[in-house]
Amino acid sequence: MERPTLLPGDIAHQEIQAQYVALSYAVSYIGSVTTLELLHRRTGSRGCYNWSLLVGSAISMGSIAIWGMHFIGNRAIILDYGIESHQLMYSSSFTALSFFLPIIVLLSAYMFIGTNEEVSKTRVSIGGTTAGLAVVLMHYLGQFGISNYTSVYRIGFIVGSVIIAIVASNVALLIFFVSRAKWAGTWWKRIGCGFVLAGAVSGMHWLATVGTDYRLRNAVLPKSTLDRKQTVIVVGTLCVFTCTCLLAYAIILGAKTRYMINKVRKVTLSAVMFDPEGRLMVSTSGALPTEVITDTLNSVLDQEFNKEHPVFLWFYRVSRSWNSVKDFVSGMQQHLRTVDMRKLGTEDQSALNLVFREMLCVAAKKLSEQLRQPLDQLGFLYDEILHTNNNSRNRANTSSGSDVEKLRKVSSGKGQTLFVYRQVTREEAARLQSHGYRFTSTKVTLDVVARSLQLHREELMEHLRCIREASMSESILEPGIHLGCFAARANIEGGFDVLVQNLQPNLIPSVQLPAQTLTDEMKTVFQSLDGFTMTDVLRSLGIKLSICTPEEQPFLEDLRSTVRALTKAYPDTFWNDAIFSSHSVSMPCRSGTLDVESSTALMYIFRIVVPIHQRELSDGIRIAPFEFFNMQQRTFSTSRDHEVLARQIHTEFSGFTERVRSPKPALLSPRLKSFMWPISNRPNSSEKALVDNPFANIMISQAVDVHSAKTSMDAHELDTFRHNLAAVAVREIEEPTWAEEYFHLLMSKPRSP
């Protein structure tokens, strides 16, 4: 059969090649999945990280899913029975415009949708509608760029294609952002959303194509045209590049997943950060920022690593005073590289503890660098160690290995996780989001975090609740007079425990008196009750109220009400036999002033030894190891023990820093220096440091007014003062805490109920 000759103005016969239809959908799907993956990784609207993801998602959707799909789809159209000279050709200028215009439109749409964890359906609908219109805009702009044909459209198909593009785009984006906000956006859900989004592009394109005819033009073709082979090459190159990037990303993600699984078998340090709204900070994969400290040390340490271990007690204090250690971390890193565990031996526990402390500080420094935060803003160490449930099949052989790696042996197949926590400001939260972190509801992301840490969901939820409460404000007494109960109980595994408040475990059970200041009359009342049991105190106060003067009555009533409130808040029967002490204890308290001396509260205490068989306790109290509780009394923000700790750390670790510190370049050559300063008169390094700064490397506990000293001393006296100060090493020993004093008092005078 003879084919009719196609003349200018005639409608060309067209056919569709199925293989290119399938290929065009595959191209659109690749672009759609890439777009959703990049949007999934966004954590905020600030920072180069988030902007690069936003621009990348707009480019992948606009250039591959829409633009690439369009030209691959048009390659499936065969006009005029396949005559090569009558196939579609495109204007270079309009082709370039159709490439960039949808990218700009989509960029504005994704910016409007935002990155809030709470999905705004209105914003998503507007963004989805804009994305659908971008598909339509690109299609008809690309059609307008056809050089050798004029497109003839049918209105019904145009309307139908617009509806398909808008509806399908809205459905895909709404499902995606809802699942993302609920942290249910797993990879297979993003794949499903990718199918729907690619269907929006392909459905719109092919419905519009069915309703389009092509009329051959009479005009001469412009010089700058692209044939269908060239467009396929361009689109194919973009798709290959995108597939390569996705494959590399999948490999990296798999490696990170395996690394996280391996992490939970070790001793790790994780950061728990909350914003002012109480939302938890996580990475884009839903995990907490984590650094490995070492493998479990139970095989080489002399006792299990728990909250009573001296290393944990030390690190707990350091986390409340990062400034005391931050200058020595570099020296610790250098020292760890030189440690030979074969020379230390497992029997030298002090050396092993030293190495472990260095590992903790180095891990904290790396974690702060991961968060791009200063070390002193990393947060406080949580008072519990969580054990992961991931068992290791291969037990480590603790007798092999050398250097520090000998510390890194798994003994039980279970890891341990330590938490540092704090509440960040809104500005800090915005900065962390710009670095690739997200803040979301704890309930929403709990399952993801629990899986990443290999912890039970309920256990993790309870710990995160406690951490959140601790991060909001310091657990410390209010100024005033308090009545408290100090109770110790023997531990069947050795040592002693104390009873503490359930919600504030660094405080003993206590209730505050209404009175703010202590008068002599109040002291007299307290002294008259010394040695009484709590039951006798209530009975005695009742008698005193019946015979007291009107001036004494208010305080006696307040005191009796406070004792009753104490028994009501902690309704354990053994408190009735607790013995009252009229000796008040000065404790740190919350204060708005900078005067440390004024940051105290007075505590009058009932003391008792709880029988070891007493296991049931009221809801308001719980058990805490005495050593840990005693250490907590040194970590209040107003405690002077921070200064003592800083001096101890300086004494212990300053040598590492000095050894790794690089020498400063000499300003003068040795020959010129010897000429200007004879060797016989040249001071040694210690003397020169003393001349430059007589207070160098000297840490003192009290402020010294050097200016006043200069004005009140002559030159000889000042020189003598400098040399004496440099020669005397100030060493301050920590005084016993009130808990130690009461514990010894309790043990020296035991009382059986």
User: Taking 80 as the threshold, does the pLDDT of residue 514 lie above it?
Assistant: yes
Residue 4 half-sphere exposure, CB side, CA atoms within 13 Å? 8
**What pLDDT sits at residue 657?**
55
DSSP 677-735: S-GGG---HHHHHHHH-TTTT---SS---HHHHHHHS-HHHHHHHHHHHHHPPP--PPP
Own/partner pairs, 454-462, CB within 8 angstroms, 24+ separation: 454/261, 454/264, 454/388, 454/389, 454/390, 454/415, 455/386, 455/388, 455/389, 455/417, 456/389, 459/386, 460/386
E strand or H helix that includes residue 646: helix 641-660
The conformational region for residue 538 under phi > 0 = left, psi -120 to 50 = alpha, else beta, is: alpha
User: Taking 80 as the threshold, does the pLDDT of residue 29 lie above it?
Assistant: yes
What value does the mean pLDDT of the chain take?
A: 78
Residue 501's beta-bridge partner residues?
Answer: 621
User: Taking 80 as the threshold, does the pLDDT of residue 202 lie above it?
Assistant: yes
Backbone angles phi, psi at 464, to 5 degrees: -65, -35
**What pLDDT sits at residue 499?**
94
Backbone angles phi, psi at 679, to 5 degrees: -65, -35
The residue type found at 96 is A
Between residues 418 and 683, the one the model is more confident about? 418
**What pLDDT sits at residue 460?**
92
481-490 and 600-609: which strand pairing? parallel
Task: Please give the DSSP secondary-structure letter assigned to residue 211.
Answer: T
**Dist CA 30 CA 65 (whole Å):** 7
**What pLDDT sits at residue 107?**
87
**What pLDDT sits at residue 43?**
66
Give 116's pLDDT tier (boundaries 50, 70, 90): low
The residue type found at 411 is S
Q: What is the mean pLDDT of residues 487-511?
A: 91
**What pLDDT sits at residue 730?**
42
**What pLDDT sits at residue 79?**
87
Instruction: Identify the CA nearest to 752 among candidates 610, 623, 557.
Output: 610
Q: What is the mean pLDDT of residues 140-165?
A: 90
User: Taking 70 as the threshold, does the pLDDT of residue 171 lie above it?
Assistant: yes
**Dist CA 704 CA 310 (whole Å):** 34
Tokens of 644: 């003592």
Cα separations in angstroms, 71 against 20, 138, 165, 235, 399: 10, 11, 17, 8, 66
Give the rounded percent of residues in the chain with a pLDDT score beyond 90.
29
Mean pLDDT check: name the lowest of 411-420, 433-442, 460-469: 411-420
Q: What is the pLDDT of residues 649-672, one digit of tens each?
A: 998 888 665 555 444 444 444 443
The residue type found at 533 is T
Instruction: Identify the CA nearest to 189 among candidates 198, 197, 179.
Output: 179
Tokens of 109: 């749409």
**What pLDDT sits at residue 609?**
92
669: Cβ–Cβ under 8 A, 6 or more apart, which residues?
none
Give 706's pLDDT tier (boundaries 50, 70, 90): very low
**Dist CA 426 CA 620 (whole Å):** 33
Select the highest-mean-pLDDT range: 32-41, 181-190, 715-724.
32-41
Q: Is 600 helix (H, G, I), strand (E, B) or coil?
A: strand
**Dist CA 704 CA 712 (whole Å):** 13
**Dist CA 574 CA 608 (whole Å):** 8
E strand or H helix that includes residue 270: strand 266-274
Give 621's pLDDT tier (boundaries 50, 70, 90): very high
Q: What is the pLDDT of residues 234-243, one digit of tens each?
A: 777 877 787 6
DSSP 362-409: HHHHHHHHHHT--GGGS-EEPS--EEP----SSPP-TTS--GGGGG--
**What pLDDT sits at residue 693?**
41
Backbone angles phi, psi at 731, to 5 degrees: -125, 120
Give 746's pLDDT tier (boundaries 50, 70, 90): confident
Q: What is the mean pLDDT of residues 556-576?
A: 93
Q: What is the mean pLDDT of residues 345-356?
A: 73
Mean pLDDT check: name the lowest of 166-170, 250-254, 466-470: 250-254
587: Cβ–Cβ under 8 A, 6 or more apart, which residues?
477, 482, 600, 601, 602, 603, 738
Between residues 664 and 27, the one the model is more confident about? 27
**What pLDDT sits at residue 146?**
87
Inter-axis angle of helices 18-41 and 187-210, to 10 degrees? 140
**Dist CA 577 CA 348 (whole Å):** 45
Neighbours of 478 (CB within 10 A): 11
**What pLDDT sits at residue 88?**
85
266-274 and 416-423: which strand pairing? parallel
**What pLDDT sits at residue 336?**
84
Residues 726/690, Cβ–Cβ less than 8 Å: yes
**Dist CA 468 CA 479 (whole Å):** 24
**What pLDDT sits at residue 412?**
42
416-423 and 386-387: which strand pairing? antiparallel
Burial degree of 479 (CB within 10 A; 0-12, 13-18, 19+):
middle
Cα separations in angstroms, 6 against 81, 149, 217, 448: 10, 12, 11, 63
**What pLDDT sits at residue 530?**
94
**Dist CA 80 CA 86 (whole Å):** 7
Give 297's pLDDT tier (boundaries 50, 70, 90): low
Residues 418/357, Cβ–Cβ less than 8 Å: no
**Dist CA 80 CA 195 (whole Å):** 33
437-440 and 280-283: which strand pairing? antiparallel
Residues 296/266, Cβ–Cβ less than 8 Å: yes
User: Taking 70 as the threshold, does the pLDDT of residue 80 lie above it?
Assistant: yes
Task: Please give the DSSP secondary-structure letter assigned to residue 576.
Answer: G
Tokens of 583: 């000796």
**Dist CA 442 CA 471 (whole Å):** 14
Instruction: Identify the CA nearest to 381 among candidates 327, 319, 423, 429.
Output: 319
**What pLDDT sits at residue 243?**
67
Give the rounded percent of residues in the chain with a pLDDT score beyond 70.
75
Q: What is the mean pLDDT of residues 140-146?
A: 88
Mean pLDDT check: name the lowest of 33-37, 343-347, 424-428, 456-460: 343-347
Residues 566/511, Cβ–Cβ less than 8 Å: yes
Instruction: Identify the CA nearest to 197 among candidates 235, 157, 170.
Output: 170
The residue type found at 193 is C
For the chain, the first-to-last Cα distance in angstroms comes to 116
**Dist CA 121 CA 619 (whole Å):** 43
Q: What is the mean pLDDT of residues 74-93?
A: 84
The residue type found at 137 is L
Q: What is the pLDDT of residues 361-399, one digit of tens each?
A: 999 999 999 999 999 999 999 999 998 764 433 333 333
**What pLDDT sits at residue 371?**
93
The residue behind tokens 């290791």 is 392
**Dist CA 127 CA 115 (whole Å):** 12
